[in-house]
């Protein structure tokens, strides 16, 4: 288990991490999700030992590591920039953590072979990093982390340098790999698609605080407040101001019709975006602009009349003053 208790970090007058507590169980994939500057990378660096918390404690596998040096924490970190040694072969890069532990060369070669096979790198072991694609380099960085067999993996936006297709491929590889290894993984991203597809639990952060720590399904379907409601989901949840509350409705929970329906509200099309598998429809009822998901075949020009209704069982209710879920 990884346990953070009341972790706080101040940089000058700015509180980057504000009394954060969370637990990750053995084999769990936890994602720290939030906008730039929310404190997620700072929190990860404190778990790694690259930053010292001003207060609070960090425990890993029952051991207090709050003041333990980074090299002695039994944690492997994978960065956005791969951080491979350009003068070394891929085999040497992967085996380097074992080399500095002074393990026998034959044992290192055997371990490198096993890890490389698992990550599809067997044919690249004699190459140098410059000869590899971005996705291959990221797999090498993962292999170098895995070969250490640490108690926890920490990953700081490791896929952000890859193109969209490679990101999807690497997400699948990461998820399957973590399932096989069953090692605690803490993963930082601002990409909600990564968070939703990879995580067992997501910690949504804002201004140094955790807004919600829950399963992807609960974060999406039962957001703790209006920030989570709008940050998670693309397009984001529609919020409608009422006299004493805020109503929330996901775009997929709005029904649309191009012909008048009894009891439905009228509006006009603002814009449609054809996505191939669906059509995103932005429309205005005169008081608010709303976004809905429609089937792929939905077609409508600008200013076309449209009728809509909310699925009542899918409405979310938030406190207007605090933004908290009711």
- Ordered by start, the domain boundaries in the chain are 2-226, 239-319
Residue 300 DSSP label: -
Q: Would you state the pLDDT for residue 14?
A: 93
pLDDT the model gives residue 107: 95
- The predicted pLDDT at position 93 comes to 95
Domain 239-319 has CATH 2.40.50.140: yes
**Structure tokens of 189?**
């991203």
Query: What is the predicted pLDDT for the residue at 125?
Result: 96
Please state at what angle helix 134-146 crosses helix 164-181, rounded to 10 degrees: 20
Predicted local confidence at residue 265, as pLDDT: 96
CATH 3.90.1150.10 for the 2-226 domain, yes or no: no
Across the 326 residues of the chain, what is the mean pLDDT of every consecutive 10-residue run? Answer: 96 95 94 95 96 97 94 88 89 94 94 91 94 89 90 90 84 87 93 94 97 97 97 95 95 97 96 96 94 95 97 96 95
Each residue of 251-275: b (16+ CB within 10 Å) or e? bebbebeeeeeeebeebebbebeee
Q: Residue 82: count other Cβ atoms within 10 Å of its Cβ.
A: 20
Is the whole-model pTM more than 0.85?
yes
pLDDT of residue 170: 84
């Amino acid at each position: 288990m990884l346990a953070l208790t009341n972790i706080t970090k101040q940089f000058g007058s700015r509180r980057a991490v504000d009394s954060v507590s969370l637990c990750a169980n053995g084999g769990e994939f936890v994602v720290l999700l939030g906008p730039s500057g929310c404190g997620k990378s700072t929190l990860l660096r404190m778990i790694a030992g690259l930053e010292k918390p001003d207060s609070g404690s960090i425990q890993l596998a029952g051991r207090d590591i709050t003041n333990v040096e980074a090299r002695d924490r039994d944690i492997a970190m994978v960065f956005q920039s791969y951080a491979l040694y350009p003068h070394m072969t891929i085999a040497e890069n992967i085996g380097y953590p074992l080399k500095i532990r002074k393990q026998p060369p034959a044992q290192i070669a055997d371990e490198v072979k096993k890890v490389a096979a698992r990550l599809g790198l067997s044919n690249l072991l004699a190459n140098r990093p410059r000869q590899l694609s971005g996705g291959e380099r990221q797999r090498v960085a993962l292999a170098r982390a895995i070969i250490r067999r640490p108690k926890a993996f920490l990953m700081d936006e490791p896929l952000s340098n890859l193109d969209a297709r490679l990101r999807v491929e690497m997400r699948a590889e990461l998820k399957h790999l973590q399932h096989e290894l069953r090692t605690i993984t803490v993963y930082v991203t601002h990409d909600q698609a990564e968070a939703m597809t990879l995580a067992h639990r997501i910690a949504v952060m804002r201004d140094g605080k955790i807004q919600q720590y829950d399963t992807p399904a609960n974060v999406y379907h039962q957001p703790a407040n209006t920030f989570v409601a709008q940050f998670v989901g693309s397009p984001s949840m529609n919020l409608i101001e009422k006299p004493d509350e805020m109503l929330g409705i996901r775009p997929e929970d709005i029904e649309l019709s191009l012909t008048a329906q009894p009891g439905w509200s009228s509006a006009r099309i603002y814009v449609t975006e054809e996505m191939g598998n669906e059509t995103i429809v932005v429309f205005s009822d005169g008081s608010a602009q709303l976004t809905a998901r429609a089937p792929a075949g939905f077609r409508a020009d600008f200013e076309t009349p449209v009728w809509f209704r909310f699925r009542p069982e899918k409405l979310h209710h938030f406190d207007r003053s605090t933004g908290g879920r009711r």
